[in-house]
Amino acid sequence: MKVRVMALALAVCLLACGGVARAADSLPSWNDSGPKKSIIAFVEKVTTTGSPDFVPPAERIATFDNDGCLWSEKPFYFQLAFALDRVKALAPQHPEWKDKEPFASLLKGDLKGALAGGEHAVAEIVMASHAGMTTDEFQSVATEWITTAKHPETKRLYKGMVFQPMLELLAYLRANGFKTFIVSGGGIEFMRPWTEATYGIPPEQVVGSSIKTKFELRDGKPVLVRLPEINFIDDKAGKPVGIQMHIGRRPIAAFGNSDGDLQMLQWTTSGPGARFGLIVHHTDGAREWAYDRDSSVGRLDKALVEAQANGWTVVDMKADWKVIYPD
Amino acid sequence: MKVRVMALALAVCLLACGGVARAADSLPSWNDSGPKKSIIAFVEKVTTTGSPDFVPPAERIATFDNDGCLWSEKPFYFQLAFALDRVKALAPQHPEWKDKEPFASLLKGDLKGALAGGEHAVAEIVMASHAGMTTDEFQSVATEWITTAKHPETKRLYKGMVFQPMLELLAYLRANGFKTFIVSGGGIEFMRPWTEATYGIPPEQVVGSSIKTKFELRDGKPVLVRLPEINFIDDKAGKPVGIQMHIGRRPIAAFGNSDGDLQMLQWTTSGPGARFGLIVHHTDGAREWAYDRDSSVGRLDKALVEAQANGWTVVDMKADWKVIYPD
């Protein structure tokens, strides 16, 4: 009998230790500092049957910003690089661009001059590069770009500039019954062709900004045409709206990095029951970029103040992450 | 050895027979006529590994209209009954409605008079009943109604007027790795509170028409307020647009019952690879309602002609379904 009791005790210990080990090993690129501990404590709390904070799997919704939260965003949002490359590729079909701003400056390599026109100039570039084709055509173009385009400074593929610790976090949450969504100011159709392979997030779990589309029969064949008209801006106060529109229930965890994520974090963490908010603070000028209050791209100011007031977890990239990008 | 071989053969047979039995038993409310055979043939084709028509699970997207496809829609869309009940409940807070159309007629029980104002009158009723509250408040109101409201003719709960054969079909598809979505002209937030319990379809897999919402802080507490302004109409040519917006990929199977579903069926069945389109034809005046070309609610005219031309499956409710509603 003694042997059987000991064997049983050993089995229980192995199971228990195995459980802890699994949790610890799920986030190997995270240092054992505060953020990692907070994440694990939250996940264990909401997934433990009988816990007062238990949340049924169907309600374990987690939303992630993309730019600056799941991948880098410097020197400017990668989707703008896509738009610029696209304008260059389309230039031969648009001889009039040679004399028309913002295209003229852009094609001369003068990005600053091209963007001098402010929001209007950006809108012109976005529409020229994102509209006027079918959804299938745009998907091909975005896929081709993401597969080949490289960042001018790191020389990495843009899609190689995703954050390894966040990939581990996404997988860890899913392994614990969470459904993970992207909720980004970026273009919904720009992200969808590659989020499944890159993040394990399928197209139907991507929320983003969009232009309008129109159903048409072309020679009897149905197509969806992308129109040069804004449909929805999924940023700031638009994020809770986009979440409600696409997901239809409030997340219990939200992850961002800038003031554009403030309202998503407020909306998520003000619901009843256990909630989790996290902000990635870009503090690592050596391995990535260091910026916050004074950055025009990914400005983090008010949300950093609110994080303190609301008990959101703040990741110090330099201190909390062992690596930034995947090998 | 002989015994072991026989036991093995028996086990194999049990497993194999079990498999076949499962497929046949998944649709017990369907007669063994054409539609059931078409459904099973399609599902087996796209789920058989090695089949030239095999579709990976992630791409097994199936979209279902709601009104007239998953539940009844006579004498008028059930959501209109909700709106009318809501107007009556709100009347004490709106003394001005006594002298203002369409409310005055409505409150006198004169539905025909109330709707004489056409689209404008319907819009007034919809906005009065659906806007001006938070999303949480609207969810409570819709939940309360669907839990208690009964159909004046059948005396059943409205949610008891879902089609048993379609419930079985939804479950059968999901058991075969499909992800099932609702794509309805009905209100997205009207459906979401009850689609999971009723159809097994979670809020994030419901696509529908919507009004705009706005994020606000009320006494420091975030809310989403429903505004009296149309955001999106998920009907006819809007259905492929809604599908692309929410799902981001083309379904491989679509299920509808009216001309409002025509473009969804065209969009779905014109993609490459194996595709499936199905129309529920309301032919059973005894057990449900019989209508098609001449009905203002759920008109089925052009889509019935197209079904023939495109090889879509047409369900004859009277002939193909053993029962209509759940027991």
Tell me the mean pLDDT per 10 residues along chain A, length 327: 49 42 77 97 97 97 98 96 95 95 93 89 93 97 98 97 98 98 98 98 98 96 97 97 98 98 98 97 98 96 97 98 97
**Locus of tokens 């017990």:** B28
Residue type, A308: Q
- Name chain B contacts of A205, Cβ cutoff 8 Å: 204
Which chain A residue's Cα is nearest to B58? A202
User: Cα–Cα distance between A256 and A243 in angstroms, integer?
Assistant: 14
Best mutation site among B244, B262, B266 for testing chain A: the one with the most A CBs within 10 Å?
A: B244
Among candidates B203, B214, B247 on the partner chain, residue whose Cβ is nearest the Cβ of A203:
B247
Taking CB atoms and an 8 Å limit, are B192 and A224 in contact across chains?
A: no
Contact B189 A213 (CB under 8 A): no
Chain A: give the shortest CA distance to residue B94, in Å.
29
**What is the rounded CA–CA span in Å between residue B94 and residue B78?**
24
Note the Cα B256 to chain centre separation in Å: 8
- From CA A9, how far away is CA A20, in angstroms rounded? 17
Nearest to A267 among B203, B222, B266 (CB): B222
Burial B72-84 (b: 16+ CB within 10 A, else e): bbbeebbbbbbbb
A45 vs A68: CA distance, rounded Å: 28
Task: Give A279's contacts (C-beta < 8 A, 6+ positions apart).
Answer: A255, A256, A257, A261, A265, A300, A303, A304, A307, A312, A313, A314, A315
Q: Which residues of A touch B221 (CB under 8 A)?
A: 270
Q: How far away is chain A from the Cα of B231, in angstroms, using its nearest Cα? A: 10
Of A202, A241, A246, the CB nearest to B58: A202
Contact A215 B237 (CB under 8 A): yes
Question: What is the per-residue pLDDT across A134-148, written as a single tens digit (0 to 9) for each?
Answer: 999 999 999 999 999
Mean pLDDT of B109-126: 90
pLDDT digits (tens, 9 = 90+) for B258-283: 999 999 999 999 999 999 999 999 99
- Residue B200: pLDDT above 90? yes
- The pLDDT assigned to B23 comes to 54
* Dist CA B5 CA A104 (whole Å): 80
Phi, psi values for residue A264, rounded to 5°: -65, -40
Instruction: Tell me the pLDDT band of B20, cut-offs 50, 70 and 90.
Output: very low
Residues of B with CB under 8 A from a CB of A: 58, 61, 135, 179, 188-189, 192, 196, 202-206, 210, 213-215, 217, 221-222, 224, 231, 237-238, 240-241, 244-249, 263, 266-267, 270
Which of B267, B269, B187, B228 is closest to A213 using CA atoms?
B267
| Separation between Cα atoms, residue A160 and residue A197, nearest integer Å | 12
* Chain segment B21-59, per-residue pLDDT in tens: 355 589 999 999 999 999 999 999 999 999 999 999 999
Q: Do A189 and B248 touch (CB under 8 A)?
A: yes
**Average pLDDT for residues B208-223, to the nearest whole number?**
97
pLDDT of B24 reads: 54
Q: Residue B7 corresponds to which tokens in the numbers above?
A: 């036991």
**pLDDT per residue as tens digits for the range B301-314:** 999 999 999 999 99
Sheet (strand B276-281) strand order: B221-232, B206-218, B179-187, B61-64, B253-256, B276-281, B313-316
pLDDT recorded at residue A23:
54
pLDDT value of residue A25: 85
**Alpha-carbon gap: A17 to the closest alpha carbon of chain B (Å):** 34
pLDDT at A22: 53
- Token look-up 């040519």 returns B237
Q: What are phi and psi of A143, to 5 degrees?
A: -65, -45
Q: How far A59 CA lies from chain B's nearest CA (Å)?
A: 10
Look at B237 and A221 and tell me if their CB atoms are within 8 Å: no
Distance (Å) from the C-alpha of residue A110 to the closest C-alpha of chain B?
35
Report the residue from B213, B222, B266 with minimal CB separation from A222. B266
Least confident range from A41-55, B2-16, B176-190, B312-326: namely: B2-16
Residue B12 in this model has a pLDDT that exceeds 90: no
Residue A301 CA from chain centroid, whole number: 19
- What local confidence, expressed as pLDDT, does residue B7 receive? 52
Other CB atoms within a 10 A radius of the CB of residue B47 amount to 18
Looking at residue A10, its pLDDT comes to 46
H or E element that contains B256? strand B253-256
**Which chain B residues are Cβ-neighbours of A215 within 8 angstroms?**
237-238, 240-241, 263, 267
Q: Which two tokens stand for residue B316?
A: 């004859």
CATH 3.40.50.1000 fits A28-74+161-320, yes or no: yes
CA angle A101, A153, A168 (to 5 degrees): 115
Q: Return the domain boundaries, chain B.
A: 28-76+155-320, 78-148
- Average pLDDT over chain B, rounded to whole? 93
Q: Report the residue from A206, A238, A247 with minimal CB separation from B248.
A: A206
| Min Cα separation A181/chain B (Å) | 11
Question: Among the listed ranges A150-164, A290-304, B110-124, B145-159, which one has the minimum average pLDDT value?
Answer: B110-124
Domain B28-76+155-320 sits in which CATH superfamily? HAD superfamily/HAD-like (3.40.50.1000)
Which residue out of B61, B216, B224, B263 would a mutagenesis test of the A interface target, given it has the greatest number of A Cβ atoms within 10 Å? B224
Provide the ipTM.
0.92
